[in-house]
Amino acid sequence: MADRADRIASDIFSLGLILLVSRIRKKASGGLSDVRDSEFLTELWRFREKLRSSRDIGKLIKSAIKLARLHFDAEEGCLATVAPGQYLAEIEWSQPNTAEWDPDLLGGFLRGQKVKVPKDTMLARIRRRGRMWGVLVLRRESQDFFWDSRQDFSALADVVNEMIDSIEQQRISEVRLQVDQKVLEQVKPKHLFYKLLHAIKSLTDYDHSAALLMCDKDGGSMEVVAEQVAFQKRKGENVGLTLPLDRGTRKLLKSGLPFGFDRQDGAWEQWAGVEASALVELLDYNPIMATDRFPAAEHSMICVPLVTKDGLIGALKVASIYAGTLREYETDLLSQFLPQASVALQNLKRTESLENQVIAAERKYAMAELARGVAHDVNNALGAVLPLVQQMQTDFEDGFFDATETKEDLEEIEKSLLVCKRIFNGMLHFARNETRNASDVSLAQVIESALSIFRQSLERHKVQVIVTVPADLPMIEAVQADIEQLVLNLIGNARDAMEPDDDLRIVASAEDRFVVLEVTDTGCGIPPDHLAKIQEPFFTTKADGNGLGLAICRSIVAQLRGQFKIESDLGQGTHVTVKLPFRNGIS
Does this model's pTM top 0.95?
A: no
Q: Give the residue-averaged pLDDT of 348-367.
A: 57
Is 91:80 a contact under the CB 8 Å cutoff? yes
**How many C-beta atoms surround the C-beta of residue 508 within 10 A?**
19
User: Is the model more confident about 8 or about 510?
Assistant: 510
Element (H or E) spanning 149, and its range? helix 147-184
Same domain, 441 and 299: no
Same domain, 21 and 156: yes
374 domain-assigned: no
Torsion angle (degrees, nearest 10) of CA 171, 177, 179, 185: -150
Same domain, 453 and 564: yes
68 domain-assigned: yes
Residue 483: pLDDT over 80: yes
Structure confidence by residue, pLDDT tens digits, 173-192? 887 777 766 655 655 566 66
Structure confidence by residue, pLDDT tens digits, 276-297? 999 999 999 988 776 767 778 8
Which of 171, 198, 215 terminates a domain? The answer is 171
Same domain, 204 and 113: no
Q: Provide the percentage of residues in the chain whose pLDDT is more than 70.
A: 74
Specify the amino acid at residue 191.
H
Which of 121, 148, 171 terminates a domain? The answer is 171
Residue 372: pLDDT over 60: no
Q: Give the residue-averaged pLDDT of 373-396.
A: 68
Strand ranges (DSSP E) for 488-585?
503-511, 514-521, 563-569, 573-581
User: Is the model more confident about 278 or about 535?
Assistant: 278
408 domain-assigned: no
393 domain-assigned: no
Same domain, 306 and 450: no
Q: Give the residue-averaged pLDDT of 10-20.
A: 48
Same domain, 142 and 241: no
Residue 376 pLDDT: 54
Domain that holds residue 18: 2-171
Q: Give the residue-averaged pLDDT of 156-178.
A: 86
The Cα 186–Cα 344 span in angstroms is 9
Residue 532 pLDDT: 61
158 domain-assigned: yes
Structure confidence by residue, pLDDT tens digits, 102-140? 999 999 999 888 999 999 999 999 998 888 889 999 999
Which of 313, 338, 363 terminates a domain? The answer is 338
Residue 33 pLDDT: 43
User: Is the model more confident about 57 or about 231?
Assistant: 57
Which range, of 310-324, 403-417, 495-509, averages the lowest pLDDT? 403-417
Strand ranges (DSSP E) for 248-388?
259-264, 267-272, 300-308, 311-320
413 domain-assigned: no
User: Is the model more confident about 222 or about 452?
Assistant: 222
Same domain, 102 and 202: no
Q: Please, which pLDDT band fits residue 27 given cuts at 50, 70 and 90?
A: very low
Which range, of 11-20, 124-133, 486-495, averages the lowest pLDDT? 11-20
Residue 35 pLDDT: 41
Residue 190 pLDDT: 64
Question: Chain-wide mean pLDDT for the chain?
Answer: 78
Same domain, 137 and 213: no
Structure confidence by residue, pLDDT tens digits, 240-277? 889 999 999 999 999 988 999 999 888 999 998 889 99
Residue 20 pLDDT: 47
Same domain, 103 and 248: no
Residue 425 pLDDT: 64
SS3 226: strand
Highest mean pLDDT out of 29-33, 59-63, 194-198, 559-563: 59-63
The Cα 534–Cα 536 span in angstroms is 5
14, 223, 260, 476, 503 from 241: Cα distances, Å? 52, 6, 22, 21, 47
Highest mean pLDDT out of 159-173, 409-423, 525-539: 159-173
Is 248:275 a contact under the CB 8 Å cutoff? no
User: Is the model more confident about 354 or about 387?
Assistant: 387
Residue 182 pLDDT: 64
SS3 409: helix
425 domain-assigned: no
Same domain, 132 and 238: no
Q: Please, which pLDDT band fits residue 21 given cuts at 50, 70 and 90?
A: very low
Residue 13 pLDDT: 44
Same domain, 158 and 231: no
CATH number for 554: 3.30.565.10
Is 133:23 a contact under the CB 8 Å cutoff? no
Which range, of 137-146, 340-349, 356-365, 548-557, averages the lowest pLDDT? 356-365
Structure confidence by residue, pLDDT tens digits, 309-327? 778 888 889 999 988 889 8
438, 475, 563 from 581: Cα distances, Å? 13, 9, 9
490: left (phi over 0), alpha (psi -120 to 50) or beta: alpha
User: Is the model more confident about 21 or about 212?
Assistant: 212
347 domain-assigned: no
DSSP 219: S
Same domain, 327 and 204: yes
Total domain count, the chain: 3
Residue 64: pLDDT over 80: yes
Q: Please, which pLDDT band fits residue 336 given cuts at 50, 70 and 90?
A: confident
CATH number for 161: 3.30.450.40
* Closest listed residue to residue 586, CA positions, set 552, 555, 563: 563
